Structure 1
C-alpha cells in the first residue's frame, strides 16, 4: 500500500475512518527523514492492513504544531483515534517492526480506561495515549 499524504484538510477524516495509522512527520530538507523514508515505505508494503501516512511539516506547519512536533522525523501511531506512540528519530527497520508489533498488541480498552482515569484525576494527558482527532482544526 502506498502512503497517504496527510493535510490539515484530510487529517480528521483519515483518522476517523481508520483504526490503525502510522504517521511519519518529515521535511524534504531533513537528512534523517530521507534515510527513514525507505524503511517506512518498506513497512507499508509488509503491513498492508495498516494505513501509512506522511505529514510534510513544512507544508503542514499547523498540523505539526497541533501535535507539538519539535524534531523530525517523528513517528506517531494512532489507534482508535488515540495517539499511542510518538517518538522522534529515524528508526531502523527492526525497531519499527517492534513498535508496530507492540502497538498491535495494545489492549485499547485498557488504554481508554487509563486515559479516563488520568482525566478524572485532573492530569493533562494519559500515559499511553492522547486523543488524536480534532486537534488539527483551528
Structure 2
C-alpha cells in the first residue's frame, strides 16, 4: 500500500527504516506512468514503506527539499535522504535502487 502524506506528517512518516516518497501532481503525465510502478513495488516489497505526496497541495516540503521537477522519488533511510530519482523510472531500475538500502 502507498500512503498519501502531507507537509504536516512527512518527517514523522519517513523517519524510520527505508521509505520511498513519490512526489507527484495530478496534471503530470510522467507521474501517471510512475504511479502504477510504485503501487506494484509496494505490493511486492514489505521491506520498504511507500508514500506519495501531491506537490500542489503540499508545497512546503517540496520547496524545502528542492524538488523542481516531478515525478521525483526520494529514498530515505532512518530519516536521512539517501537517494533522489527524477523522472520516470522503470520498475526493475527502481527495485535495484531500493536493494542498495535494504538488508
The TM-score bracket by the shorter chain reads: over 0.9
Higher relative contact order (CA 8 A, sep 6+): 2
Aligned to 2:3: 4
TM-superposed CA distance for 1:80, in Å, is 1.0
Shift of 1:15: 2.1
In the other structure, the counterpart of 1:42 is 40
Q: What TM-score results when the alignment is normalised by the length of structure 1?
A: 0.71
Q: In 2, Cα distance between the equivalents of 1:82 and 1:103?
A: 11
- Normalized per residue, the structure richer in helix is 1
How far did residue 65 of structure 1 move? Answer: 0.3
Q: What CA distance in whole angstroms lies between the structure 2 residues aligned with 1:97 and 1:75?
A: 12
**Cα distance, 1:21 vs structure 2:** 0.4
Which residue of 62, 66, 84 corresponds with 1:64? Answer: 62
Instruction: Report the structure, 1 or 2, having the larger strand content.
Output: 2
Q: TM-score, normalised by structure 2?
A: 0.94
Provide structure 2 residue ranges, at least 5 long, that are not aligned to the other structure: none
Q: By how many angstroms is 1:102 displaced? A: 1.5
Task: Count matched residues.
Answer: 103
Secondary structure of the residue aligned to 1:36 is helix
Other structure's SS at 1:35 match: helix
